[in-house]
Chains A and B, each alone.
Chain A
Amino acid sequence: MKFIFWNVKNRLNIEIILEILKHESPGLLFLAEAGKVLKNEDIERIQKTDYEYLDNPGCDRIRIIKKKDLKISLSKQSDYYSSLKYENVVIISVHLPSQMYQHMDGLKRYFRDLRTELDSEFGSSIEKDIVIVGDFNVNPFEKPLIDFDGFSASNSIKLNKEATHLKTKKALYYNPTWMLYSNAKFPGTKYFKRPSASAFDILEHHFLDQVIISYSMSQKVIYQKIELLEKTTNYTFFDQVTNSIKISDHLPLIYEYKIA
């Protein structure tokens, strides 16, 4: 399965979307900040290709385009995430609250509640194959994602299945996005300067867009590839010369996996 997540910053251009689909041929394309619904004429354009728009009532923050021959089912929806079932894998796409308006402590509280909700709705990370992709609005190393009482997403695929704190156990997730930190020139999917409303540091490149997989799935992965889409035949998303993002203020994130 290969899918792409892209926060288009309310600049949805159907020509670019069609080009991404043609260039990358993903099974699924998740879009954030793409408007409440796609325009009818855009849906018709998509329908003329190998793809179709998948309506997901209940989640306006994520829009979904799928390959027509992909056998998936629409699953649980909420204001902040949309989920699908593909074979035995739950695929959840998220667009979480912005750090522009939330203190990092507030975001950590939100992530703790979200993790509890996902455990309740979809099952334990140890037992269920779950992949979460989207705009998390925090970096992989920040406390909402790595803390025991946050999302508890590890940087290593050789992770323990659970961590223990004062006799309380918590199942862990694995965050493959860490693999992207080898890019020293632009280590991020978005550029903005901090200190900010949420953090007091000097980082300017941020991997707000990420993929996280459950422990169960991490143990079954026989192939995975994570990368950023920098250009297609006709469009440039990342300008190597100016070292800057074009079109949106986020780069599209591509994740592909095979499980045993």
Chain B
Amino acid sequence: MKWENFQESQKELPEVIVEKMISGFSTATNELAELRMSNASELALIGSKLKTRFQFRVQLLSNRLPDYALKVFEFGYNVDIYPVKIILTPSIMEELNNKGEGLTSIISLDDQERFQRLLELVFSTARFKEVVGGLMKIARKSDLPF
């Protein structure tokens, strides 16, 4: 058999898209909050509803509150990269559905454009902004109660 040359996929990896999107967030919060993407732990992979080979999660953190964390969403994909699957934190999903997005508990997105659009919607929700604002407020307090 004569093999033709294979071409590496031109699709951008979802985690690269996320990294680009969340860069600059810390600056926008005066370094009081940050968004961090990490690989799903082995235990998380076993229990995950995503059922994908590669999985990540994005958490809201603050270096002023070292134990604080809020998972904003998790996402994953298989070797064909798309569709990418996402599970949003329920309150954000509820807000988007109230705006008519019609999202299911596990969202399957067929391409990069849809993935980026959903992330923009997530980071624009009133719920996300409210939590970030609350975190910034307590992170700024110099007389932290703990």
Contacts and interface: CB of A to CB of B under 8 A. Distances in A.
Q: Do A and B come from one complex?
A: yes
Contacts of A73: 65-68, 146
B91 interface: yes
Contacts of A119: 43, 47
B146 A71 contact: yes
Interface in B27-50: 41, 43-44, 46-47, 49
A110 to B, nearest CB: 11
Contacts of B58: none
Interface residues of B, number: 27
B38 to A, nearest CB: 12
Contacts of A66: 145
Contact of A74 (B49, B130, B146): B146
Contacts of B137: 55
A77 B69 contact: yes
B145 A68 contact: yes
B71 interface: yes
Contacts of B138: 55, 57, 74
A79 B105 CA distance: 14
Nearest to B46: A116
B135 interface: yes
A161 interface: no
A9 B71 CA distance: 27
Nearest to A54: B145
A10 interface: no
Interface in A180-220: none
B59 to A, nearest CB: 9
Given A66-B145, A68-B145, A120-B41, A76 B69 contact: yes
Contact of B67 (A52, A57, A85, A113): A85
B106 interface: no
B70 A58 contact: yes
A108 B69 CA distance: 26
Nearest to A59: B70
Contact of A75 (B68, B71, B135, B145): B68
A116 B45 CA distance: 10
Nearest to B43: A120
Nearest to B92: A79
Contacts of A58: 60, 70, 131, 134-135
Contacts of A54: 145
A77 B68 contact: yes
A244 to B, nearest CB: 34
Given A78-B89, A79-B91, A120-B41, A57 B47 contact: no
Interface string B103-146: 00000000000000000000000000011111101100000011
A78 B146 contact: no
B146 A57 contact: no
A120 B44 contact: yes
Given A57-B138, A66-B145, 16 more contacts: A52-B145, A54-B145, A55-B134, A71-B146, A72-B146, A73-B65, A75-B67, A75-B68, A76-B68, A77-B68, A79-B89, A79-B91, A116-B46, A119-B43, A119-B47, A120-B41
Interface of B: 41, 43-44, 46-47, 49, 60, 65-71, 89-91, 130-135, 137-138, 145-146
